[in-house]
Amino acid sequence: GAGVSQTPSNKVTEKGKYVELRCDPISGHTALYWYRQSLGQGPEFLIYFQGTGAADDSGLPNDRFFAVRPEGSVSTLKIQRTERGDSAVYLCASSLRSGAGYNEQFFGPGTRLTVL
């Protein structure tokens, strides 16, 4: 497929468990973003990768949240000791980020996380 893909589509877990959410960006896109969308809200920025490094992690709510992108392509968002308040749709987006000028972010379909 040519678009951003995210797995799983839905994830149900119990409070206190560990979860991993995966994002496959569009091939060749160097920039990757994670957003969290709580019920009835717009997406909120979590973290941005340029290549392999996290260039901006200012949106991560606390140290239970961590994300990696070891080879500059696939990214994994990791949540430790999940809480009910972590329930949300987690969206991933990628962009070409070729340099100056506008770079459109293309979004995946998201992972709906439910913490019981």
Partner 1 sequence: AQTVTQSQPEMSVQEAETVTLSCTYDTSENNYYLFWYKQPPSRQMILVIRQEAYKQQNATENRFSVNFQKAAKSFSLKISDSQLGDTAMYFCAFMKQQGGSEKLVFGKGTKLTVNP
Residue 11 pairs in a beta bridge with 113
Pick from 55, 74, 54: which is nearest to 66 by CA?
54
- Token pair listed for 88: 């949300």
Angle at 69 between CA 68 and CA 73, to 5 degrees: 155
User: With respect to partner 1, which residue has the nearer C-beta, 8 or 16?
Assistant: 8
SS3 content of the chain, % helix, strand, coil (to 5): 5, 45, 50
Contact segment (CB under 8 A) with partner 1 among 15-23, 60-68, 73-81, 97-105 equals: 97-105
Of 22-30, 53-61, 67-75, 77-85, the window that binds partner 1 (rule: CB under 8 A) is 53-61
Tokens of 34: 């994670």
| CA atoms of 101 and 40, how far apart (whole Å) | 32
Minimum distance, C-beta of residue 85 to partner 1, in the bound complex (Å):
18
Residue from 30, 59, 72, 96 in contact with partner 1 (CB under 8 A): 59
Q: Judged by CB under 8 A, does residue 5 bind partner 1?
A: no
Of 11-19, 21-29, 74-82, 106-114: span binding partner 1 (CB under 8 A): 106-114
Residues that bind partner 1 (CB under 8 A): 31, 33, 35, 40-45, 48, 50, 55-56, 59, 89, 91, 93, 95, 97, 102-105, 107-110, 112
